[in-house]
Amino acid sequence: MRISVFGSLNYDITLWIARLPAPDETLPVDRLQEFCGGKGANQATAAARLGAEVAMIGCVGRDAHGDTLVRALERNGVDHRHVARVDEPTGTAFPLVAPDNVSILIARGANGVTGADHADAARAAISASDVLLIQGEVGGEGAGRAAQLAAAGDTAVVFNPAPVDDDVIRHVMPHVSIVVMNEQEQATVTVPEGIETVVTLGSRGAMVGDVHVAAFDVAVIDPTGAGDAFCAALAVAVAEGADVVNATRFASAAGACAVQVAGAEPSMPTRTQVEALLRAGL
């Protein structure tokens, strides 16, 4: 199966803290680590580790962080020919991991200039894909053009509107096949009738319309990137011909694998890991 991803690439600087700081408060950091991330790159990496042929479409800066992110894609077997080098700095994310919460600050950098011209340059890769994955961390015009090209070529569009961006939603939603979002996003995103909707519920599983898909009971080390593993796995399963409910169960297992590993890119699971958890959970 072939998956293309139009989305963000971020260099992550992750901070583990006892709790989020109050206004005007300074807190010590328990631990700091740097990882490859970005919702687009995470989903591309996960799809590749799950066995798909993957093309990543996005932008990084002409800097060391951009070099690191491109090398990571190559290491994971992701086609990065459509990752452009631009004059803006590489996007940077700052996940704040507290015991009961993960908050993320993002400096969009190069992701903010990922546009329609980059989608057009990757037209052949998008049209040849079974599924196109799009998120909310890039500009609406570019994301919308990628979705339009996919729909015109009978490529299914799986849209993860995170973070919620009205401009991205306006451009992308007319071309979407499946929307994947959490409860917070569901409260603000209107999905037109006829589009399959998957709502993730964390430790309570997920909903596909009125159908509940149970979660897997695992120890949570770091939830950063779990949603990206979920989206990628769902896209892979759909590309393989699964219906959305069965694809969601496969995706739930991928997300459960991801939360057991620190960092975004390192936590994206392999096919073997996901299938082992599925067998154990039956």
Active site (catalytic) residues: 228
Q: Provide the sign of the torsion angle of the four alpha carbons 9, 165, 254, 47, taken in this order.
A: negative
> How many Cβ atoms sit within 10 Å of the Cβ of residue 143?
31
Mapping DSSP onto H, E and C, the string for 147-214 reads HHHHHHCCCEEEEECCCCCHHHHHHHHHHCCEEEEEHHHHCCCCCCCCCEEEEECHHHCEEECCEEEC
Q: Provide the sign of the torsion angle of the four alpha carbons 101, 105, 110, 114, taken in this order.
A: positive
DSSP string over 34-59: EEEE-HHHHHHHHHHHTT-EEEEEEE
SS3 category, 126? helix
> How many Cβ atoms sit within 10 Å of the Cβ of residue 167?
13
Which bin fits 94, alpha (ψ -120 to 50), beta or left (φ > 0)? beta
> Contact at 8 Å (CB) between 142 and 118?
yes
Query: What does the chain come to in residues?
Result: 282
Pairing of strands 101-107, 178-182: unpaired
